Amino acid sequence: RWTNWVGFVTHKPVTEDYAPLLPWFGVMLLGFVVTRARPHLWRGEAPRPLAVLGRWSLSFYMVHQPVLIGLLMGLQQLR
């Protein structure tokens, strides 16, 4: 159907990366409203590790899978 991208689906698609727009758009808008209404809740910058991951997100994404696969293969060899 033409409304699938919004989240109006009759059954979940086969892919695991399906994220409908409507529920997550509402969560995002709620975050905007809270930060505008209560600016004192968020002071300063993002925590340092989170900021580093944000700046290097693609590199982290590309490296983490081979590292995890290597760790799992190493654990399998120990068994």
- The H or E element spanning position 61 is helix 57-78
pLDDT (tens digit per residue) in 33-70: 988 888 787 777 767 888 888 899 999 889 999 999 99
| One domain for residues 6 and 30 | yes
Q: Give the pLDDT score at 5.
A: 67
| One domain for residues 52 and 37 | no
| One domain for residues 35 and 64 | no
73 Cβ partners below 8 Å, 6+ apart? Answer: none
Domain of residue 37 covers 1-44
Q: pLDDT confidence of 78, banded at 50, 70, 90?
A: very high
| One domain for residues 56 and 36 | no
pTM of the model: 0.43
pLDDT greater than 70 at residue 24: yes
5 Cβ partners below 8 Å, 6+ apart? Answer: 20, 21
Q: pLDDT confidence of 72, banded at 50, 70, 90?
A: very high
| One domain for residues 35 and 55 | no
| One domain for residues 7 and 39 | yes
d(CA 79, CA 66): 20
| One domain for residues 2 and 40 | yes
